[in-house]
Amino acid sequence: MKKILITGGAGFIGSHVVRLFTETYPNYHIYNLDALTYAGNLENLKDIEQKSNYTFLKADITDADKMNALFTEYNFDGVIHLAAESHVDRSISDPLAFIKTNILGTVNLLNAANESWKDNMDNKLFYHISTDEVYGSLGETGLFTETTAYDPRSPYSSSKASSDHLVRAYHHTYGMPIVISNCSNNYGPNQFPEKLIPLSINNIKNKKPIPIYGKGENIRDWLYVIDHARAIDLIYHQGKNGETYNIGGINEWTNIDLIHKLCEVMDKKLGRKEGESAELITFVKDRAGHDMRYAIDANKLTSELGWQPSLQFEEGIEKTVDWYLANEEWLNNIISGDYEKYYNKQYSER
């Protein structure tokens, strides 16, 4: 039985990866390591928590001794590392939390894996999940490829860029088998409602203003989370040692067009008259250092490993809205906690 450590498995993307691996590979034991920060939620995994090939480990990757002890106890064969502080706005108000988890936490995992694997690296793999934001900001044209120079501009993207460099350094210096993937913006079920799409779904549902930063002209390339999880599965099993793969939706939207689309879908689902939800759109003060455009060239992944996104955006956004409307309790549990404090602090200043 292969033992796979998935970090950050109680978060948005991690929970979909944990579910996919636990269900697809009964011959793997999946260890989900998560500190359960504000973004971690075991409710995301209720449907699989009883499976015999799944174990939850509550631990913080910034705790080096704990990481070493867990590698000694379990002898993991592979790591899929998703645990991170992931929200740009929070990185602007508290950069140090991002340095600690995203950089120091990654080094702790690399050290623990290196110590555990150093005598025999055969069939071991450290797979680091990263973001397209490490490449910086595009103008009107062009796409990020795997060879685009790193140019991170927020504390979040800088901390992720640092962790990518460190993972490559352990490959070159210690011979650790690694792969890295850099993905565009994800959306779908279970995303914490601090990110644009679930925040807007929640506000539209509750007839609250939808805050659009600046003029809403910034562009993101959106990918349905399950398609990201499918790409991670492919890369984990077929990616070449030492390589990087870009993952993207070929699906660029300005924020304002995206929100209009979302309002249109929600008007229909909620039985509101056409245009009613769009009246909630409110332009607010821009994010500091707001990256203009992200867009991914995923040709390497498509041509080498045969990956394609399975969903069109129209279908994905409907599925996402349906999920949030059907999972009121999940959403209410979040917005009744510290979320309100966070929201008031972030948005009253805009």
Cβ atoms within 10 A of the Cβ of 50, count?
7
Tokens of 341: 């404090």
Name the active-site residue from 132, 146, 194, 291: 132
DSSP string covering 186-247 = EESTT--TTSHHHHHHHHHHTT--EEEETTS--EEEEEEHHHHHHHHHHHHHHPPTT-EEEE
Instruction: Please indicate whether residue 156 is annotated as part of the active site.
Output: yes
> Are 199 and 193 within 8 A, CB to CB?
yes
Catalytic hit among 127, 156, 187, 213:
156
The span of 9-17, 47-55, 114-122, 269-277 binding ligand NAD (CB under 6 A) equals 9-17
- DSSP letter for 293, please: B
Beta strands in the chain (DSSP E): 2-7, 28-34, 54-58, 78-81, 125-131, 178-183, 185-187, 210-213, 219-224, 244-247, 252-254, 281-284
Our finding on whether 37 is near ligand NAD (CB under 6 A) is yes
Q: Distance between CA atoms of 259 and 254, rounded to whole angstroms?
A: 9
Identify which of residues 144 and 280 has a Cβ nearer to ligand NAD in the complex.
144
**Residues found near ligand TYD in the complex (CB under 6 A):** 88, 185, 195-196, 199, 211-213, 218, 220, 255, 287
Partner touching 211 among ligand NAD, ligand TYD, none, CB below 5 to 8 Å by kind: ligand TYD
Contact region with ligand NAD (CB under 6 A), list: 141-149, 180-188, 273-281, 319-327: 180-188
CA 46, CA 127: separation in Å to the nearest integer?
25
Question: By C-beta, is 125 or 201 nearer to ligand TYD?
Answer: 201
Catalytic residue among 133, 164, 194, 221: 133
**Residue 199, interface with ligand NAD (CB under 6 A)?**
no
Among 5, 30, 45, 129, binds ligand NAD (CB under 6 A): 129
In the structure encoding, which two tokens stand for residue 150, read together? 């790193």
Q: Contact with ligand NAD (CB under 6 A): which of 19, 29, 90, 160?
A: 160
Smallest gap from Cβ 273 to ligand NAD, in A, equals 32
Spell out the residues 6+ positions from residue 120 whose beta carbon is closer than 8 angstroms to its own. none
Whole-number minimum distance, CB 49 to ligand TYD, in Å? Answer: 28
Q: Which of ligand NAD, ligand TYD, none sits in contact with 196, Cβ below 5 to 8 A by type?
A: ligand TYD
Rg of the Cα trace of the chain? 20
Known catalytic residue at 133: yes
Amino acid in position 134 = V
Q: How far apart are the first and last CA of the chain?
A: 52
Considering only the stretches 112-120, 137-145, 184-192, 197-205, report the one whose residues sit in contact with ligand NAD under the rule CB under 6 A.
Answer: 184-192
> Which part of the chain contacts ligand NAD (CB under 6 A), choosing from 6-14, 117-125, 260-268, 299-307?
6-14
Answer for which of 5, 18, 30, 35 binds ligand NAD (CB under 6 A) is: 35
Q: Which is nearer to ligand NAD, 178 or 280 (CB)?
A: 178
Residues 6+ apart with CB under 8 A from 205: 266, 270, 324, 325
Residues with a catalytic annotation lie at: 132-133, 156
Query: Would you tell me which residues interact with ligand NAD (CB under 6 A)?
Result: 8, 10-14, 34-37, 39-40, 60-62, 82-86, 101, 105, 129, 131, 160, 183, 185-186, 192
